């Protein structure tokens, strides 16, 4: 529930990823600065051309905002928003979002408009709401985290986007091609709720976004309101069956498939076994960004971790 109005005179420190989405970054910055200037709101735009510098620039924005009791804003896609939120977490600072990505699941979940002008107006007039984030090892995720097939799909999708542009159609076809190439199966040794279980799967997907779960027809959206994360695993199956699952997800019916196992948790610890031995490093995707993590992998829900600027009308 909304808790308080966003500070009306706090300066805004905006981390702008100039490589996110299909919009012209120069025009986006011009719109931001014009609207904030007209409103008489103090602000500073920190542009980032190289995505590898996002964490450093986000940390700089947090330090400056701390000194001036300001607000940190992420302008970009879900990956950019994740990087800035990682720096904001634990600082006690308000967090704002100007969506610039392809899917914008995080911003859409909380009614933040995709139109830059409307999103800037929200920064000026919105309210603060505490929202949950997920954490896997030392990284957070706002939308989802995964291991197995899904990180491979994301890497292939980025290759396709570099060649054919950023769009949902390109993302879909990248998924189809990935599934046709085949995939490895994993054996997971998982510990949660005081129980140890072994799971054979091609991918483990952990969701923290109601909108994404509902659009694909997955169970577990209600668990997010209880301070938990929603997980699903795909039982090992063939390529044609995987394509059928992709189609079911596109039509919002993935949760009803027999090949899908779902459960929820507040914390989960796992290892990946290969040929009877535990792997020391595992490839994990967080909000579309893929990285290697040391095993064992630990997931945890962090309720009320961020103070997000959202629309004054909670039905937005």
Please say whether the structural domain 144-286 has been given the CATH code 2.60.200.40: yes
Range 28-48 average pLDDT:
96
Q: Could you give the CA distance from residue 76 to residue 46 in angstroms, rounded to a whole number?
A: 12
What are residue 16's DSSP bridge partners? 47, 75
Q: Please, where are the H alpha helices in the chain? A: 25-38, 54-68, 78-88, 105-109, 116-125, 149-164, 168-180, 210-215, 221-224, 239-250
Q: How confident is the model at residue 1 (pLDDT cuts 50, 70, 90)?
A: very low
Alpha-carbon torsion 302, 308, 314, 316, what sign? negative
Range 262-275 average pLDDT:
90
Other Cβ atoms within 10 Å of 195 Cβ, number: 7
Contacts of 243 (CB under 8 A, 6+ apart): 176, 179, 180
C-alpha 44, offset from chain centre: 25
pLDDT over threshold 80, residue 104? yes
3-state secondary structure of 310: strand
Q: What is the CA radius of gyration of the chain?
A: 20
Q: Could you give the CA distance from residue 244 to residue 232 in angstroms, rounded to a whole number?
A: 17
Q: Please say whether the beta carbons of 184 and 200 come within 8 A.
A: no
In the chain, % of residues over pLDDT 90? 54
Range 60-70 average pLDDT:
97
Q: Could you give the CA distance from residue 126 to residue 10 in angstroms, rounded to a whole number?
A: 13
Q: Please say whether the beta carbons of 167 and 194 come within 8 A.
A: no
What pLDDT is attached to residue 180? 53
pTM for the whole structure:
0.83
- Biggest CA-to-CA distance, the chain: 64
Do 2-135+305-310 and 144-286 have matching folds? no
CATH number of 2-135+305-310: 3.40.50.10330
Tens digits of residue pLDDT in 69-94: 999 999 998 889 999 999 999 999 99
Range 146-175 average pLDDT:
63
Q: Could you give the CA distance from residue 238 to residue 43 in angstroms, rounded to a whole number?
A: 53
Q: Please say whether the beta carbons of 285 and 154 come within 8 A.
A: yes
Q: Could you give the CA distance from residue 316 to residue 313 in angstroms, rounded to a whole number?
A: 6
Domain spans, the chain: 2-135+305-310, 144-286
């Amino acid at each position: 529930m909304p808790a308080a109005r966003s500070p009306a005179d706090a300066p805004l420190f905006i981390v702008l990823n100039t490589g996110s989405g299909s919009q012209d970054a120069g025009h986006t910055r011009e719109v931001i600065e014009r609207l904030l200037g007209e409103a008489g709101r103090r602000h500073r735009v920190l542009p980032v051309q190289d995505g590898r510098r996002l964490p450093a620039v986000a940390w700089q924005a947090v330090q400056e905002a701390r000194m001036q009791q300001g607000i940190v804003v992420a302008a970009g896609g879900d990956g950019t928003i994740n990087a800035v939120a990682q720096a904001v977490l634990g600082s006690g600072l308000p967090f704002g979002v100007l969506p610039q990505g392809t899917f914008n699941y995080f911003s859409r979940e909380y009614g933040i408009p995709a139109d830059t002008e409307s999103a800037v107006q929200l920064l000026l007039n919105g309210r603060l709401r505490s929202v949950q984030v997920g954490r896997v090892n030392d990284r957070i995720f706002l939308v989802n985290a995964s291991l197995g097939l899904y990180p491979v799909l994301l890497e292939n999708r980025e290759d396709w986007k570099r060649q054919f542009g950023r769009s949902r159609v390109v993302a879909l076809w990248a998924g189809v091609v990935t599934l046709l190439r085949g995939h490895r199966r994993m054996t997971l040794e998982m510990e949660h709720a005081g129980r140890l279980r072994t799971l054979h799967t091609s991918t483990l997907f952990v969701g923290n976004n109601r909108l994404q779960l509902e659009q694909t027809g997955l169970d577990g959206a209600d668990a997010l309101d209880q301070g938990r994360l929603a997980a699903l695993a795909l039982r090992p199956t063939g390529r044609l069956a995987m394509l059928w699952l992709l189609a079911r997800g596109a039509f919002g019916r993935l949760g009803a498939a027999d090949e899908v196992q779902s459960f929820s948790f507040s914390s989960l610890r796992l290892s990946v076994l290969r040929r009877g031995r535990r792997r020391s490093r595992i490839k994990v995707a967080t909000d579309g960004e893929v990285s290697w993590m040391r095993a064992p992998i630990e997931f945890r829900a962090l309720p009320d971790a961020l103070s997000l600027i959202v629309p004054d009308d909670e039905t937005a």
